[in-house]
Amino acid sequence: MDNVPKFKTAIWRDEASPDNEFLAQKSYCHGYDVYGEMLGQASFSEYILTLFLGHKPEPDQLYLFDCMAVAIANSGPRDLAIRAAMNSGVGGAPAAANLMSFLAVASGNYQGSHELQQLVSWFVRFDLDYDKWIIALNAPNTERSREDIWEKFEHPPGFLPHAQQASQNTHDFLALRGLWNKYPAISWLKQNLENFENTLGMALGMNFVVAACFYHLGFSPDKAELCSLMLRLPGAAVHSLEAKQQGWKQFPFFGQQIELRNDPGEVGPLPDVSEILP
């Protein structure tokens, strides 16, 4: 068996059951006994952070993570990605299809995880250097030296191209005591919000605040991208279920709202099959 390909992991260890080598009798996550010790003691957030960070989180990390997770767990039924999940759910597709639909739409440059990844990578490089941030935000595609599967940014990442002032929700997030007074990136965003918005002519979006949180949690850009998608799934789940339960008759259908600019008109009649199908 020694020349057989083998998985390698620094995250997880299963101890085999004495009577079945394919069944774990003990499982360890970063060295912690998951079912023997963590279960019953660790909260869900603690466990998620342990998975991503590689160790048990500190209480302040846990608080920051929980705040952020609550902030993004559901963006409501107007959100593009949630609507994707709902459009899957309303037809009665499998649950996984609803979440896959959400993930696809939530992954992009516009309020998505790829935008977030870019922001976290800039936090890693610029920290809180306002001037460097402004240069990058004003020309977000400068470092793009060749084609990529991701298209160019059409707006400064982290900002809302269709709004000029941040929402009250974003202000509330930034003003949360326990965050801005503790985490420099949050207070920096709070202090510079007006400068940013005046300079760029658009509103600071939630993704920028979330990126600041991931930065303080020590998440790499890739970890932040993935974790943010995961943390946004609950909203997709419940709204897709609701759409399924409500049924298609109650779900908005925009067939009559289509304005076709190049309609050739009726080219020919439907075939006459009345002899076969009266």
Partner 1 sequence: MSIADLFSHENKIVTEMGRSYLSQRVVYRGKDLHHDLKNLSWLELFAYGITGRQFSESEVKLLNFIWVSTSYPDKSIWPNHITALAGTARTTPPLALAAGIASCEAAIFGGKPFKVAIDFFKRANSYVSDGGELADFVDAELKQHKVIFGYGRPLASTDERVPHLIKFVKENSINSLEHFNLAIKVAILLKAKKHINMNVAALYAALGADLGFDAESFHMYMTLCFVAGMPPCYIEAKQDVEGAFLPVRCDRVEYTGESQRPW
Q: Is 71 in the site for partner 1 (CB under 8 A)?
A: no
Residue/partner pairs of 53-56 with CB below 8 Å, 24 or more apart: 53/217, 53/218, 54/10, 54/11, 54/30, 55/30, 56/32
Alpha helix stretches (DSSP H) within 201-232: 206-217, 221-231
Given the rule CB under 8 A, which of 49-57, 111-119, 220-228, 237-245 is the region that contacts partner 1?
49-57
143 makes contact with partner 1 (CB under 8 A): no
* CB of residue 257 to partner 1, shortest distance in Å: 5
Using rule CB under 8 A, residue 33 touches partner 1: yes
The position carrying tokens 């020919």 is 268
How far is the CA of 160 from the CAs of 15, 57, 190, in angstroms? 49, 32, 16
Of the candidate residues 94, 178, 184, 234, the single one contacting partner 1 (CB under 8 A)? 94
> In the range 194-233, which residues lie near partner 1 by CB under 8 A?
202
Among 67, 73, 163, 176, binds partner 1 (CB under 8 A): 163
Q: Does 149 bind partner 1 (CB under 8 A)?
A: yes
**Does 44 engage in binding with partner 1 (CB under 8 A)?**
no
Q: Any bridge partners for residue 160, and if so which?
A: 203
Considering only residues 19, 198, 254, 278, which one is a binding residue for partner 1 as defined by CB under 8 A? 254
CB of 93 to partner 1, least distance (A): 8
Residue 14 as a binder of partner 1 (CB under 8 A): the answer is: yes
Q: What minimum distance in Å lies between the beta carbon of 127 and partner 1?
A: 27
Q: Is residue 60 within the footprint of partner 1 (CB under 8 A)?
A: no
- 67/100 with CB nearer partner 1: 100
Of 3, 18, 19, 30, the one binding partner 1 (CB under 8 A) is: 30
In the complex with partner 1, the residue whose CB is nearer, 94 or 184, is 94
The CA-based angle 216-199-220, given to 5 degrees, is: 20
The residue whose two tokens read 């941030």 is 133
| Candidate residues 60, 151, 172, 194; the one interacting with partner 1 per rule CB under 8 A | 151
Cα 218 from Cα 211, distance rounded (Å): 11
Gap between the Cα atoms of 203 and 196, Å rounded: 8
- Computed from CA positions of residues 13, 19, 22, 25, in that sequence, does the dihedral angle turn out positive or negative? negative
- Told to check if 21 binds partner 1 by CB under 8 A, we report yes
Q: Can you tell me the distance from the alpha carbon of 119 to that of 125, in angstroms, rounded to the nearest whole number? A: 10
State in Å, rounded, how far the first CA of the chain is from the last one: 67
DSSP 270: P
What is the contact surface with partner 1 in residues (CB under 8 A)?
A: 1, 4, 6-16, 21-24, 28, 30-33, 37-38, 41-42, 54-56, 94, 96-97, 100, 104, 145-149, 151, 154-155, 161-164, 202, 254-255, 257-264, 266-268, 270
